[in-house]
Structure 1
Amino acid sequence: MINFNGLLSSREEFRLSLNNRAFKYGDALYEDIKIAGGIILFWESHYFRLMASMRLLRMKIPAYFDMGFLEKEILKTCSIQKDEAHLIRLTICRKDSENLYAKEQNIDFYIETTCHVEAAYPAFKSLFEVDLYKDFYENASLLATINTSSNLIPILSKIFADENDLDECLILNSNKNVIGASIGNLFLVKGYSVLTPPAEDGCKKGILRNEIIKLIKKSALYQLEEISISPFELQNADELFLVHISYGIIPVSKYRKKEFNRQTADYILENLNLSIQEITKGK
């Protein structure tokens, strides 16, 4: 289903204007969201990230655009399909305009649903090989930390991975530090230390990244540090794993000639799913 400004339609019925600014100029942001057991997971975090992103892009936030309104619209979009869990993409863009500069900053919103996902994140069992993408670099800027519809570097990195029989490529910033991958945030494990790039390096401020940081900080086994990660450190790591709200945790099995274990990733996945159980049971 598609929800456009509160109006529901099927994907087949929905039509996008040629003057849509997301399509025409990449003038849009989006939020990937998971629903389990009728509960929007980590909804408050999603909402505040969305508001911060809209302010950064100088979009006009309507007075009615509060947490309750968006929650109702998201759940309304899912209500027709009776699956246990859903993936949602909430896209916000400035209203249609023929010109690059929009005189008005009013917005449209789109909510897309994807069904047939599990409430708990499944364990990723396949081998997963990565390398570096070095054709282009992301800027280490605040703009790089939000999800916009301008995603050329992640797209090109994924094409490069496919052309070289890799599962994914890691993306570098202009300082040549690793900031993540096209499919999510990066975590590196060395002994009992878990490292992840800081937002200042230009990594996405992913919601699942934040939740996993919280889980690690609560753990008595591991220490969490947000710190720049150089490509050299990848070779010395015990584990690498990628995270995203849509699929959970993907352990990396190989980077170049280095192979990794997955003990920490499995431990975090188990605790993440327990956290989701608590959220859905407490509804």
Structure 2
Amino acid sequence: MINFNGTLVSQDSNILVQNRGFLYGDAVFETVKIVNSKVLFLEDHYFRLMASMRVVRMEIPMNFTMEYFEAQLLSLTDKLGISGSARARITVYRNDGGYYLPVDRTVSFLVHATTLDAVLYSFDEKEYEVDLFKDFYITKQLLSSIKTTNRMLNVTASIFASENDLANCLLLNDTKNVVEAIQGNVFMLSGAKLITPPVSEGCLNGVMRKQVLGLAKTIEGLEVVEEIISPFDLQKADELFITNVIKGVQPITRYRKKTFKTDLSQKLVLKLNEVISLS
């Protein structure tokens, strides 16, 4: 028997009572974009999920190959009849039992998917204002670089952004340097130098981050580096943008009183779409 919203009900009626992902955030996840029944950047997503499971000492099933991972995602979108573009998330959680110490390290997973309007990445020309979120900080540790279901900082920052009419917030680490945005990695263009924080600063080891780093290095005359970004650097930047696998490249148009160009963002969106068209 449990108390659920003030009503006493059978414990068996609520599957979350022993779910470790719900109780302790004992879960990792991957969000992917699927285009025409193909998982974009499949290898990167799969190996990041495997690395995340190893970091938190989950037992990886022997059958959990890249082909199996892909099949589980596509079987759902096919069943849903999504033929164009979809957003799919797979959440892997340790099985029920124990308190902080799990009874065993075996896992289960859950996949859900929704339709996306566009197949290709688009360039958003709307105003996109951001500011710093300084209530809580990301710690510079390995756990910060993987996707766990403990995203309370991101949730709280999202509420802060909404309350202040911001499109997004930039998150800081415990040494007060800029790490990432609420839902993506951050890049800064200063002159002919494109900078993104290194993973060692506590940012997510983003799949789209990796793609953009590679594509940016093909642009002649552009220096691409992984370096620390301080809040003071933002005011001197020529361009700022956010990357994630669902949106692609999201240009930031305003930070406080500073407005930014979007030329490089537009160029990178075109290059991303070329990659998708050729794959």
* TM-score tier after normalising by the smaller chain length: over 0.9
1:203-218 matches, cutoff 5 A: 203-218=203-218
**Matched position secondary structure for 2:237:** coil
1:105-254 matches, cutoff 5 A: 105-254=105-254
Change (3 A) 1:16 1:193: farther
TM-score of the aligned structures, taking structure 2 as reference length = 0.92
Aligned length: 265
Could you tell me which residue of structure 2 aligns to residue 12 of structure 1? Answer: none
The residue type paired with residue 73 of structure 1 is Q
Deviation of 1:78 after TM superposition, in Å, equals: 0.8
Q: Are the aligned partners of 1:87 and 1:117 in contact in 2 as well (CA < 8 Å)? A: no
**Matched position secondary structure for 1:44:** helix
Q: Does 1:65 align with 2:64?
A: yes
Note the alpha carbon deviations across 1:80-110, whole angstroms, 9 max, x for none: 2133111110110101225232120000011
Counterparts of 1:226 and 1:16, CA distance in 2: 44
Note the alpha carbon deviations across 1:133-188, whole angstroms, 9 max, x for none: 11111101111001110011111111111111211111000011100111110000
Q: Are the aligned partners of 1:242 and 1:251 in contact in 2 as well (CA < 8 Å)? A: yes
The residue type paired with residue 92 of structure 2 is I
Identity of matched residues, %: 38
**Matched position secondary structure for 1:69:** helix
Q: Which runs of 5+ in 2 are unaligned?
A: 1-13
Counterparts of 2:235 and 2:247, CA distance in 1: 25
**Matched position secondary structure for 1:115:** strand
Cα RMSD, aligned residues only: 1.2
Could you tell me which residue of structure 2 aligns to residue 272 of structure 1? Answer: 272
**Matched position secondary structure for 1:218:** coil
Deviation of 1:192 after TM superposition, in Å, equals: 1.6
Deviation of 1:243 after TM superposition, in Å, equals: 0.8
Q: Which runs of 5+ in 1 are unaligned?
A: 1-14
Counterparts of 1:213 and 1:77, CA distance in 2: 31
Deviation of 1:119 after TM superposition, in Å, equals: 1.5
Q: Are the aligned partners of 2:121 and 2:247 in contact in 1 as well (CA < 8 Å)? A: yes
Q: Are the aligned partners of 2:37 and 2:83 in contact in 1 as well (CA < 8 Å)? A: no
Deviation of 1:16 after TM superposition, in Å, equals: 4.3
Could you tell me which residue of structure 2 aligns to residue 9 of structure 1? Answer: none
Counterparts of 1:136 and 1:257, CA distance in 2: 23
Q: Does 1:87 align with 2:76?
A: no
Change (3 A) 1:87 1:240: same
**Matched position secondary structure for 2:116:** coil
Q: Are the aligned partners of 2:130 and 2:169 in contact in 1 as well (CA < 8 Å)? A: yes
**Matched position secondary structure for 1:143:** helix
